[in-house]
Amino acid sequence: MKIYILVLVFLCFSIGIIYAQPEIVDAKPPVSTYSIPSAMKLCGEIIPLDRPDIRERFDREFYYTLDREGQLVLYIKRANRCFAVIEPILKELNVPDDLKYLAVAESGLLFRAYSPAGAAGYWQFVKGTAKRYGLRVDRYIDERRDLERSTRAAMMYLSELREQFGSWMLALAAYNWGENKIEKAVEEQGTSDYFGLYVPDETDRFIFRIAILKLIIGNPQGYDIYTPHDNLYTPSKETVVSVTSERWFSIDVLATCAGIHPRAFRFMNEWMISNTLPPGTYDFSVPPSHALGFADCVRTELSSVREIKHIVRRGESLTIIANRYGVTIQQIEQWNGISRWRAIHPGQKLTILSP
């Protein structure tokens, strides 16, 4: 009898909890309720959605992208910050505003984006192409990570591709797969229609992905994606200060004179890929509050750093030299543009910075 009573009490308690719970309303309709538009253009060129095969290819990217709501929210937040820099450049260079969505497709608007193929930065330049369009890429500086400079380089490249192929669609495909490969495909297949070319799956989906990012990021509310304005990322307030020095620059000095942490300084100066920079002239972005005295502060601080010229003796290694001066092997590598995987030799001069 006691068991029946306990079971009855348990059931009553459970039912009470169920009915006490507030009704949870799914405010966002399922992805399947959305449909692709009947017509769309990208860079002023028509995407022929009236063709069944094109609609299916568009569908594939549309639902795949829309199903990744969290990633889309991040794209929208970053776009508010990055497009403020990109859009004026595109307008100045008289290229389609839609090209800004290429950067979203390529890097997710992350300056540290890096591909297995060696492409880097906002626009995912490989090193050779980056240098071809005037970007500096070495062991200290990588301007593929600089939003303004890399955007200008990307637009130069895309404009040349547009002139070569006569179509923004083919220009974008060539940007993804390579101009020589697209040129060969056009010649062998006898068509200059991007949508009629047989290309690798990544390139086959590329144009559609850019178009869909334009569709959703341009109108997120239309797809029930809400990002309050005060949640969007905003461009940092900064002032560019040019500094020239015959001494090596170090991140600790630069950050101290800028009044911010080293990580913040590196993120404000995205092109820096090393904590030290060789002598020269650099344009540093710093908080406006520290812009006025920044250059003098850097020069004063650097003047207190001793620059030693060490001549390598027989039997010495980078480890021995680093321990002698109380520095790291990585610092010696950066200061001298060398690698621990290549032997040093007697008589070789190495620069050592010592406080």
331 — pLDDT class (breaks 50, 70, 90): confident
Is residue 4 in a domain? no
Closest CA to 137 of 156, 150, 152: 150
28 — pLDDT class (breaks 50, 70, 90): confident
Same domain, 285 and 158: no
Element (H, E) at 252: helix 251-258
Q: What is the CATH number of the domain that holds 75?
A: 1.10.530.10
Query: What is the arithmetic mean of pLDDT over 267-295?
Result: 95
Same domain, 200 and 142: yes
Closest CA to 165 of 198, 192, 196: 192
Tell me which of 16-20, 116-120, 277-281 is least confident: 16-20
Q: Length of the chain in residues, anyone?
A: 355
Structural contact between residues 206 and 261, judged by C-beta atoms closer than 8 angstroms? no
User: How many CA atoms, within 13 angstroms, populate the side-chain half-sphere of residue 334?
Assistant: 20
32 — pLDDT class (breaks 50, 70, 90): confident
Structural contact between residues 266 and 251, judged by C-beta atoms closer than 8 angstroms? yes
Give dist(CA 86, CA 155) in Å, integer.
Answer: 10
* Residue bearing tokens 């000095």: 253
Same domain, 249 and 285: yes
Closest CA to 166 of 154, 178, 177, 182: 182
Structural contact between residues 80 and 234, judged by C-beta atoms closer than 8 angstroms? yes
Give dist(CA 320, CA 338) in Å, integer.
Answer: 16
Work out the mean pLDDT of the chain and round it to a whole number. Answer: 91
Query: What is the arithmetic mean of pLDDT over 66-93?
Result: 97
Same domain, 79 and 113: yes
Q: At what angle do helices 69-92 and 147-165 cross, to 10 degrees?
A: 80
Instruction: Check pLDDT > 90 for residue 6.
Output: no
Model pLDDT, residue 2:
52
Same domain, 156 and 267: no
Same domain, 184 and 296: no
Tell me which of 42-51, 102-111, 342-351 is least confident: 342-351
Same domain, 109 and 120: yes
Same domain, 51 and 140: yes
Strand partners, 351: 309
* Residue bearing tokens 């239309």: 222
Q: At which of 191, 208, 227 does a domain end?
A: 227
Same domain, 58 and 164: yes
Same domain, 78 and 190: yes
Radius of gyration of the chain (CA): 28
Distant-in-sequence, close-in-space partners of 88: CB < 8 Å, separation ≥ 6: none
Distant-in-sequence, close-in-space partners of 91: CB < 8 Å, separation ≥ 6: 97
Closest CA to 254 of 218, 297, 311: 297
* pLDDT, tens digit, 9 for 90 and up, residues 103-146: 999 999 999 999 999 999 999 999 999 999 999 999 899 999 99
* pLDDT, tens digit, 9 for 90 and up, residues 150-171: 999 999 999 999 999 999 999 9
Structural contact between residues 139 and 330, judged by C-beta atoms closer than 8 angstroms? no
Give dist(CA 246, CA 211) in Å, integer.
Answer: 49
Structural contact between residues 172 and 207, judged by C-beta atoms closer than 8 angstroms? yes
Q: Which two tokens stand for residue 58?
A: 């568009």
Domain count, the chain: 3
Given CA atoms 145, 146, 148, 153 in this order, what sign does their dihedral have? negative
Give dist(CA 276, CA 335) in Å, integer.
Answer: 7
Long-range contacts of 128-131 (CB under 8 A, 24+ apart): 129/157
1 — pLDDT class (breaks 50, 70, 90): low
Structural domain that includes position 277: 236-304
Same domain, 174 and 124: yes
Structural contact between residues 97 and 91, judged by C-beta atoms closer than 8 angstroms? yes
* pLDDT, tens digit, 9 for 90 and up, residues 177-227: 999 999 999 999 999 999 999 999 999 999 999 999 999 999 999 999 999
Strand partners, 249: 277
Q: What is the CATH number of the domain that holds 351?
A: 3.10.350.10
User: How many CA atoms, within 13 angstroms, populate the side-chain half-sphere of residue 95?
Assistant: 28
17 — pLDDT class (breaks 50, 70, 90): very low
* Residue bearing tokens 């990109």: 86
Same domain, 272 and 327: no
* Count of helices and strands (H, E) across the chain: 14, 8
Is residue 288 in a domain? yes
Is residue 10 in a domain? no
